[in-house]
A and B are shown apart, each in its own frame.
Chain A
Amino acid sequence: MQVQNPMTESVTPNQCPLCAQPVPGGNRLVGEVLSCDGCSAELEVVGVNPLRLEEAPEVEEDWGE
C-alpha cells in the first residue's frame, strides 16, 4: 500500500483515494461515477486533466429516485 505524504493534496491524481488502485483516465466527465476495480468503492470524478477522484458522497436528504 502506498503511503501518502500528508503535506500534499489528499486527492492523488489517477488513483483510488481509498486503495490507491490506478484508475484509467481519458474521456472522463466531472460528476461521473465509477466503481474502483481494487476495492469496489463508488468513486466520483471531481477533476479531469489530471484525473482526480473522491469517494462518492453519501445520499443527500433530497436525493430521490
Chain B
Amino acid sequence: MRKVDLVYTRVRTEEKLLLEALRRRDCAVNLVQDSGMVLSMDRQRVTEADTVLMRSMSFTRARYLATFLEMKGLRVLNSARTISLCGDKALTSAALAAKGVPMPWAFVAFDEDACLDAIDAKGYPVVTKPVLGSWGRMVARLDSRTAAEGVLSTRFGTGGAQDHVALVQEYVDKPGYDLRVYVIGRTVGGLRRRSEHWITNTARGAVPERYEVPVVHARLAEAAADAVGGDMVAVDLLETRGGDIYVNEINHCVEFARSIDETGVPLPDLIAEYVASGAGGARR
C-alpha cells in the first residue's frame, strides 16, 4: 500500500476528488495543510509517507516544501525543480528555449528605459506579464509606446527588487480560443477555452470546450513537460491564425474543477494512477 501525504492550502473540489481517487487505489492518504508545516534543515524523517502530492496553492510554499521534502528523501509530485521552473514564467521560457520548444518570442528586462527601447525595436503590440502569479492577473497587452510607459512605470516604480523584472512576449493573435493539454506522464487529454477576451482563462470566464488532442499538439506538450521535468502538468498552447502552434505556459498544480465535465478527461483518476504507480519524482 502506498502512503501519500496530500499537501494542500484549501480543500477545493480538486483536492476532494484527488483524495477519493487515491483512496480508491488503496493509497493511505494523509491530508496536511501547508500553513502548519515546519521542516527542519536535516534529513530527519517527517512522515510515514513515501510520496507527497503537492497541492499547495502558494508558489512560495510549494517550492520550499517540495525542496525540503525531497531533501528528506521523499518522492514529491511535482518535483521541486518543476515547481520552481513553472512558477516563474521567465524561467519557464528559459527551460523551453534550452530545449528548442516552439514558443512566442520573449525577453526579460530589468530597467524601464531598456525595456521600452527593446519593445520599440520589436514593434507593438506586445504582452507583458509578471514572472510570478497567474489566472491572468496583471497580464497587459501594450498597443503603443504610451501604454507601455504607463504599465512599465508601475512595474518598475512599485514593489521590491524581485518585482523589477519585466517579461515581454510576442502578442499572438489567437483565433478566439487557446488550448490546454494535460500531461500526466504522457498526454491524457485536453481542453479548448473559448473567449471573446484575449485572456482566455476559465477563472476569468472563458468557456471550456471538448478538444481531441491531435498528435502534433500532444508531442509539443510532452516536449514542454519534459523541458521542465514535469510529471503532471497542464501545458497551455497558443495557435496563431497562420496555423503555427506555440507553448505559452506550463502549470504545475493542475486545476480541473471548472472543466472536468466538458473535457471528459478523468483527471483525478489519471493523477491518482500516476501517484500510485511510483513513477516520476526527482529521484527517478
Contacts and interface: CB of A to CB of B under 8 A. Distances in A.
B10 A64 contact: no
Contacts of B251: 64-65
B249 to A, nearest CB: 10
Interface in B219-235: 234
Interface stretch (B52-60, B119-127, B171-179, B260-268): B52-60
Contact of B60 (A31, A45, A62): A62
Contact of B57 (A30, A45, A64): A64
Contacts of B13: 33
Contacts of B252: 64
Interface in B142-187: none
Given A29-B31, A31-B33, A64 B253 contact: yes
B59 A30 contact: no
Contacts of A33: 10-13
Interface string A1-40: 0000000000000000000000000000111110000000
Interface string B1-41: 00000001111110010000000000000010100000000
Nearest to B234: A65
Given A31-B9, A33-B10, A62 B58 contact: yes
Given A29-B11, A30-B33, A32-B10, A61 B135 contact: no
Band of interface residues on A: 10 to 19
Contacts, number: 53
Band of interface residues on B: 20 to 34
A33 B137 CA distance: 22
Looking at chain A's contact residues, the main secondary structure is loop
Interface of B: 8-13, 16, 31, 33, 57-60, 87, 132-135, 137, 203, 234, 251-253, 255
14 contacts: A29-B11, A31-B8, A31-B11, A33-B11, A45-B11, A60-B57, A62-B133, A63-B57, A63-B59, A64-B59, A64-B87, A64-B133, A64-B252, A64-B253
